A = this chain, B = another copy of it.
Amino acid sequence: MLEPVKKIRLYESIVKQIQKLILSGELQPGDRLPPERMLAEQLNVSRTAIREALRSLEMMGFLESKVGVGGGTYVKKITINNILSPFSQILLQNDDFIVELLEVRLFLEIEVARLAAIRRDEEDLKKIHEAIEEMETAIRRGETGLLGDNAFHKALAVATSNTVLQQLLLLCGNLLELEREEHLSSSKTESKKALIQHKKLAHAIEQGNDKQAQTIMRDHIHDISKTIKSNRANRAQQLAGGPDEETE
């Protein structure tokens, strides 16, 4: 079966070429591309095509540009989170997204707890304890402790020694940030409860007890998810008169 021949646009071709240079390691984060006018000469195209390609790569998160002497176009460091963050608001619009994401986050975090208990080293434990102290201090001041919460979950993810998992968790955490903040803000009780669970988790992980770590994490994330779903249900009720109650 013959397929339609798709003519490739210049700007597309340039985007792909530059991506390839980044891929092959010829271009590293921090490297500076030649000036636009020079690139246009080298590639024997107009500056327009160059700009369209560079603007695309810039908005995609690959490059950044600066004006003036010493200005130019520089290669940025690529992470999954950097790539997805421009899209997060769009993904959040889907009403089911949050609920589904909570479900995915539940089993990702349980797996994090398991791997962290198995793989953590002294440095990881130090970070975990620092995060707990940070959260504790913030709560004592009357704050929600969200930053400490973020730091705690990040430290756990780092302790798994799996960067793909880290990126996924970071992404989940960011996408759920409003909801998580709301949860911790809802009452001082919730913040303190989360802190207690963090401490229990830290202890299980320190002991290398992966079974217990999983159980505590399951309870912890389940609590949070329950509140978030409840808040969403209340919000939807106020707006439109109440969704069906979900069986859990």
Contacts and interface: CB of A to CB of B under 8 A. Distances in A.
A203 interface: no
A131 to B, nearest CB: 22
Interface stretch (A30-38, A82-90, A146-154, A184-192): A82-90
Contacts of A86: 19, 60
Nearest to A84: B83
A72 to B, nearest CB: 15
B89 A19 contact: yes
Interface in A46-93: 48, 51-53, 55-60, 78, 80, 83-84, 86-87, 89-91, 93
A216 interface: no
Contacts of A107: 107, 111
Given A104-B164, A163-B100, A90 B111 contact: no
Given A56-B59, A58-B56, A89 B23 contact: yes
Contacts of A25: 93
Interface residues of A, number: 41
A83 B58 CA distance: 15
B22 A90 contact: yes
A12 interface: yes
Contacts of A52: 51-52, 55
A170 interface: no
A235 B9 CA distance: 36
B162 A103 contact: yes
A32 to B, nearest CB: 19
A222 to B, nearest CB: 15
Given A56-B59, A100-B162, A103-B162, 20 more contacts: A11-B59, A15-B59, A19-B90, A23-B89, A23-B90, A23-B93, A48-B51, A51-B52, A55-B56, A56-B56, A56-B58, A60-B60, A60-B86, A83-B87, A94-B163, A101-B164, A104-B162, A104-B164, A104-B168, A107-B107
16 contacts: A11-B59, A19-B89, A23-B93, A25-B93, A55-B55, A56-B59, A56-B60, A59-B59, A78-B91, A83-B83, A83-B84, A83-B87, A97-B163, A100-B164, A103-B165, A104-B168
